[in-house]
Every structure is written in C-alpha cells, then in structure tokens.
Chain A
Amino acid sequence: MTAKLSDKATGQRLVKAGISEAANHKGPEYWFDFNQAIPGSQRLLLGAAGWITFVLVWHITSQMDLAPERLYPGPVAVFGALQELFIEQSFLSDVMASLTRILVSFSIALAIALPLGILMGSFARVDAALNPLMGAWRYLPAPAFIPLLLMWLGTGDTQKIALLLMGVVFFLIIMLADVTRQTPKVLIETAKTLGGGRRIILWTVLFRHSLPGYVDTCRQMLAVSWTYLVIAEIVAATDGIGAMMMRARRFVHVDDIMAGIVTIGVLGLLLDTVFRLIYRKSFPYLGRGHS
C-alpha cells in the first residue's frame, strides 16, 4: 500500500532491500536520531510510560504532606470524587449541558465560516473585501464581550453559545479560507481545460481538495471551543462542567474541581480522536502519516 508502483518497481525493490540490509549490519541502533520513524508498539509504550509517570508523581506528592489533603488530593481521591459526582450528584446532566453548548455553538460557527471561508479562499476579490474585517475581529478576545453579552442576552444558554461562537468563528473563517487557498492552481486549470464551469470547479476541485484540511481545522478549533466553554460557564451559570467546578470551589471541594478538569480533558481527547478517525477513514488517498 505504501510502496510506489513504479515502472521499474523491481529495480527499486532491489535497491531498497540492499539499503535495509546494509542498515541491519550497521551494528547498534541509535535511540536518538533526528526525525527517526519508530514502530507503533514502541510509540504506544512510550506514551503510556509518560502518563504512568505523571499519575505516579501526582500520587506520591499528594501523600507527602506538602499541603493539606483537602487542597491537594491525590489521583485516588479525585477518581473517587468523579465516581460520586456521576452516581450521586447527576453530574451527567452538567456534562451533557456543556457538550450541547460546544456542539451547538460549533455547528453555528461552521455554518457561517464554511461558506465565507470557501468564497474567500476561492476568489481574491471576496478575500480582499472580507479578510481585513475578519482578521481584525480575531484579535478581539471573546471574553471581553462578556459584559455586553450579559446585558444583551441575559445569563442563559444563548449568551454562552454566543460567547463560544465569537471565540471560534473568526479564526475558523480565516483558517478555512487558508485551506481553500492552498488548492494547487494546476488542478483548477486542469478542470478548466476539461470544460468545468465555475460552480463545478468550486465543488469538485476546491472544496473536494480542501475537505481533509477542513476536518483537521475543525478538530483544532474544537479544542479552542473547550477553552471558552469553561470561561462561559464560570460566569453566571447554573449548569455545566464549569458551573459545577465553581460550586465546588465555594465549599472547597478541590477533588470535585479536579474531577471537572479531568472530565474536560477526557471529553476533549475523545472528540479529538473521533475527528482523527473520521480523517483516516474518509481520506484513504492521503496515505499514512498525515495528521
């Protein structure tokens, strides 16, 4: 699958075999070499080792009386708290509230950003008209609009979704436009000389070529969404993961706060994995090693 089917495939295979044979006779393997490829099993093992080390350090330091246990609970206490939150305190509905906010706001952001991004990335005149405006909005931090949003939209879900939207949509527009713009000119001109009109080329070349880039951009911007979620839920919220954490702070339930952080981390990682899977399954023609 990864091997190139060459006009002179046999010759290349022989050359490759010769090279790997030479490498085998080279002697000791180097553990640290620049841009070295490593086997998947080793990657997994090293990744797990990193995590185990982190949890162990956390556990040991929590046992060392550096701080009162109430303020610095260990991993065992935090996972206990997490269990209790889900079983006894209907934390699931908080999680669902947060997830809904993320998904709703992101869907709206995408519905706005995709058409604008495609048009800006495809047509220089649209880009010239909109890029300076959108580009400037990116530099206005979304949390700066919280007072305004509170006055205009109140403290409900609309205000939180609006904040998430503002935090993401301008970046999304610019990034989707950049992805679209990277469509090779030769593909567009090929389609033109095959008789393609503007609309056909927009869909079958620019959009289709950019699709993997769009998916990857969404994956990255979802991570940014999570950042704004916590900010949105810390301000005047009654439900959601962030709201739970603020409630826990009032009663100095540090284990609950940490459980909230862990939940956000796990959810973010899950969404990220889903997007990576979609990417890998949908774009087999890109081969391995992308994203």
Chain B
Amino acid sequence: MSVHQGLSVTGVSKTFQSGGRAVQALENISLGLPAGKVGVLLGPSGCGKSTLLRMIAGLEKPSDGTITLNGRAVNRPGRDRGMVFQDYSSFPWLSVRDNVAYGLKINGDRNALNEGTVDHFIRAVGLEKFADVFPHQLSGGMRQRVAIARTLANYPELLLMDEPFGALDPETRWQMQDLLLNVVRKERSTVMVVSHDIEEALYLGDVVFFLSRHPGRLRETIFTDFKSSLPQNDREAFLQSDDYRRLELHIRRLMRDEGLDAA
C-alpha cells in the first residue's frame, strides 16, 4: 500500500522492553491516508494507537517498517507533522496570540506572521475575543482550540491529534468536533486522529482504522463514504442514518471481541 501524496505506513512494528521482557505493542501495521482526508486510529486502550501516532510524529522510532509523508521518510519530529495532545499543551507564559504565533516565530517565518496568519487561525477557532488572554484563564475546550490554531498556523502537511477532546465534557466535545471539521475542510488539511470513541471516530473520519490489541494489529479499515450524502454539520441526521447505526454496531462488536481477548 503506497500513497504518494499523503501518509504511508508500511510494515511498522514496535517492541518495548519492559522488565527485561520484550513486549510487542504493534505488529506489521500498513495503512495509507491520502492528502486532504481525515483518518482515525480507533481501538481499545492498549492497542498501541497512540504509539503509532507518536511514531508518525517522529517522537518514537518504529522497531521495524517505514513511515513516509508525501514521499519523504519520517525519522524525527518536524514542522510538517504538527501534533495536538490530549493534555493542555498551551505555553502558560504566552498569550493566546503568542501561543498561536509560536511555531511561525521559532521557524523564522516572517512572511506568514506578516500576512496575518495568526489572526486568521485565531478567528478560525473563534478565539478572537481572547487573543490577549493567558491560557490559565481559559476553559479546557478553549485551550484545545488554542492548540489546534497553533498547530494549523504552522501549516503542517499532516495534523496529528492524540485523543484531543478526551478530557472535555460531552457538549464541548461535540462543539469541538464540528469546529475541527469546519476548519479542516476549509484548510484542506490532512489529519490523523487517535480516538477510543466510536461515534467520534465515525463522525470525524473519512476512513477509520480499527486496531486490535496484544499486539496491536490493523484489524479493519472502514470507509465512511455514506456521509457524503448527508447534510454537513448535522449530527442528528448522522446519528439517525442507517449506515451509521450499522457501522456503530459492527465496531461495537469488534470492541467486544477485543474485550474478551483481554479478559
């Protein structure tokens, strides 16, 4: 499986050393995500989905296999693969505006700074009224918006998100999912999201990669083409569609099988 424009993971395995024992976290994962699409890594806890995302980011090295983005091999973190973490990752000493500008500043990207990129993305996530506020004055949802704006303002080729809304209450989480989809559609970003929530995975993803655990393997790739016939930003229509119900039940069964495996 090889995609020229986009993300390509080929035969990736990861083995950890734990207490003198080698534990295989991921085994022979191959998957592709075309440019401009949203992919979701879904699976039970312990399936290694976060590890896979961190390897794509270059924060960890695969024990075996290769990862390429738009034809270039990944072996260390870089500006082309921005990551949004679950924990609050705003720099507490910087205002919202300075947080969003951080990536452009450290890269010396004067042009982007002058073109109003920072304000554009602050507006895109609806934080224009809070641009001069410090992160500690913001709610959890707003801090994640800062993180999303900061990462997108840096124009990554791939946006990586590690359970970005996992710490938020359900209502804020839904809002954030819609906000993310709107921004991503407008910017035509390529996105890979880690999630353990079936609804979130199907709502966000153009393609959902279901991983099984012990060791993590790619068990099934699920495409959500059915959403193209549904109105955008209409969660109710999405949840009531037959395709959603069918896929949700299907994935729920996959999850249940995984649970039995682990017990």
Binding site for B on A (CB under 8 A): 1, 4-7, 184, 186-187, 189-196, 200, 204-205, 208-209, 211, 283-287
Contact = CB atoms under 8 A, between A and B. Distances in A.
A209 B93 CA distance: 7
A195 B92 contact: no
13 contacts: A5-B133, A5-B142, A7-B142, A186-B88, A190-B83, A191-B102, A191-B106, A193-B82, A194-B103, A194-B154, A195-B154, A209-B92, A211-B93
Residue among A1, A194, A208 having the largest count of chain B Cβ atoms under 10 Å: A194
B215 interface: no
Interface of B: 57-59, 77-79, 81-83, 85, 87-89, 91-93, 102-103, 106-107, 130, 133-139, 141-142, 147, 150-151, 154, 156, 160, 172, 175
A281 to B, nearest CB: 14
B59 A7 contact: no
Given A4-B138, A5-B139, A191-B102, 16 more contacts: A4-B137, A5-B142, A186-B89, A187-B89, A189-B77, A189-B85, A190-B147, A193-B57, A193-B58, A194-B106, A195-B103, A195-B106, A195-B107, A195-B154, A209-B92, A285-B93
A195 B153 CA distance: 12
Contacts of A196: 106
A193 B107 CA distance: 12
Contacts of A4: 137-139
A194 B172 contact: no
A195 B78 contact: yes
Contacts of B151: 193-194
A284 B141 CA distance: 22
A193 B92 contact: no
A187 B91 CA distance: 7
Contacts of A191: 102, 106
A166 B85 CA distance: 43
Nearest to B154: A194
A194 B100 CA distance: 11
Nearest to B135: A285
A284 B138 contact: no
Interface of A is mostly: helix
A276 to B, nearest CB: 18
Contacts of B139: 4-7
A200 B104 CA distance: 13
Contact of A285 (B89, B106, B134): B134
A195 B79 contact: yes
A190 B107 contact: no
B69 to A, nearest CB: 12
A159 B213 CA distance: 66
A196 B105 CA distance: 10
Given A189-B59, A192-B77, A194-B150, A5 B106 contact: no
Contacts of B85: 186, 189-190
B81 A193 contact: yes
A186 B93 CA distance: 15
Contact of B87 (A5, A7, A186): A186
A285 B92 contact: yes
A201 to B, nearest CB: 8
B140 to A, nearest CB: 9
Nearest to A197: B106
Contacts of B79: 193-195
B164 to A, nearest CB: 12
A193 B91 CA distance: 14
A285 B77 contact: no
4 closest A-B pairs by CB? A195-B79, A194-B103, A192-B77, A193-B83
A80 to B, nearest CB: 49
Contacts of A193: 57-59, 77-79, 81-83, 151, 156, 160
B245 to A, nearest CB: 30
B106 A189 contact: no
B125 to A, nearest CB: 12
